[in-house]
Amino acid sequence: MYRIGAEARLPTVRARRLFPALLAAAAFALAGCGGDDNDANNGGSGSGESSENPAETILADAGLQVCGEVEDQLVQSIGEEGAQNVRAFAVAKDCGGSKTSPDTITIVQFDSLDSRDRTAAEIGTAHPRTNVMTSGALLIVSAGPNREANADAVGQAYTDSTGEPVTTV
């Protein structure tokens, strides 16, 4: 069934307004809850062991341990643009056995640069106490008291690892 006018735009408008809030909620929930209990090494990937996960490897290269993690794949309708995958990590220089941290790194993979740029601008405006970076189809958001140092370290580790530049929004 095809919709016309405002009725057709309603789901798109809701999704665009909802996504930045959903992203922030995931990051803040991760900072306060225990994260993922499925990790094989009790939440610490930064202790020198090799990780098969590129995101965790880059975080470790940035000198950060993963204290907890939340991942969500987003289902989209045909023809709908937006985020495809969201991973939020509670990070610290030393987790000390904790599964939480006030510092988070959230990585969002998009299906288009336009939707990535639109969301980056929305997050930067709605949440000014975050550092927002982009590279390719990825959006990287650093939040928490050490957000600037973590963003710098992650951006440098990402560039060193992939050869792709990271742009701060």
Dump pLDDT digits (tens) for 125-149: 999 999 999 999 999 999 999 999 9
The domain of 125 spans: 6-168
Q: What is the DSSP string of 119-142?
A: HHHHHHHH-TTEEEEEETTEEEEE
pLDDT one-digit tens code per residue, 100-125: 999 999 999 999 999 999 999 999 89
Q: What is the pLDDT of residue 4?
A: 52
Closest to 136 measured CA to CA, from 124, 120, 148: 120
**9-13, 62-66, 122-126, 164-168, range with the lowest pLDDT:** 9-13
Mean pLDDT of the chain: 78
Give φ, ψ of 90 to 5 degrees: -85, 125
Evaluate if pTM is beyond 0.95: no
Tell whether the model's pLDDT for residue 24 goes beyond 80.
no
Residue 1 in domain: no
Residue 148 in domain: yes
Total count of domains within the chain: 1
